[in-house]
Amino acid sequence: MLLMAILMGTLAAGIGSVWVAAALSFGVLSRYTQHMLSLAAGALLATAFMHLLPEAFESQAGARNLFLTLLVGLVFFFLLDKAELWHHGHEHHHDAALPAPRHQAHAHSGGHALPHGHADPHGHAHSHAHVHDHKPGSWAVLTGDSVHCFGDGILIASAFVADLRLGAIAALAVLAHEVPHHMGDLVVLRGGSSDRRIALVKVTLAGAVTALGGLLGYFLVDRLHDYLPYFLVVASSSFVYVALADLIPQLQKRLTARETLAQIAWLGVGMGLVMLVSALGHAH
Query: Tens digits of per-residue pLDDT, 259-276?
Result: 899 889 989 988 888 888
The answer to whether the beta carbons of residues 255 and 263 sit under 8 Å apart is yes
Query: Between 169 and 264, whose confidence is greater?
Result: 264
**Most confident of the ranges 63-77, 154-168, 211-225:** 63-77
Task: Give the predicted TM-score (pTM) of the model.
Answer: 0.61
pLDDT of residue 211: 93
Task: Compute the distance between CA of residue 56 and CA of residue 74 in angstroms, rounded to an integer.
Answer: 16
Collapse the DSSP code of 236 into the 3-class scheme (helix H, G, I; strand E, B; otherwise coil) and give the result: helix
CA distances (Å), 270 to each of 116, 178, 232, 244, 279, in order?
A: 41, 12, 20, 15, 14
Largest CA distance in the chain: 78
pLDDT of residue 110: 44
Proportion of the chain above pLDDT 70, given as a percent: 74
pLDDT of residue 33: 64
pLDDT of residue 67: 96
138-175 CB burial, b ≥16 within 10 A, e <16: bbbbbbbbbbbbbbbbbbbbbbbbeeeeebbbbbbbbb
φ, ψ of residue 253 to 5 degrees: the values are -125, 155
The answer to whether the beta carbons of residues 177 and 240 sit under 8 Å apart is no
Task: Give the type of residue at 156.
Answer: I
pLDDT of 2 above 50: yes
Side-chain-facing half-sphere of 262: CA atoms under 13 Å: 11
Domain coordinates in residue numbering, the chain: 2-95+134-283
Task: Compute the distance between CA of residue 147 and CA of residue 159 in angstroms, rounded to an integer.
Answer: 19
pLDDT tier, 108 (very low <50, low <70, confident <90, very high otherwise): very low
pLDDT tier, 248 (very low <50, low <70, confident <90, very high otherwise): confident
pLDDT tier, 182 (very low <50, low <70, confident <90, very high otherwise): confident
φ, ψ of residue 161 to 5 degrees: the values are -60, -35
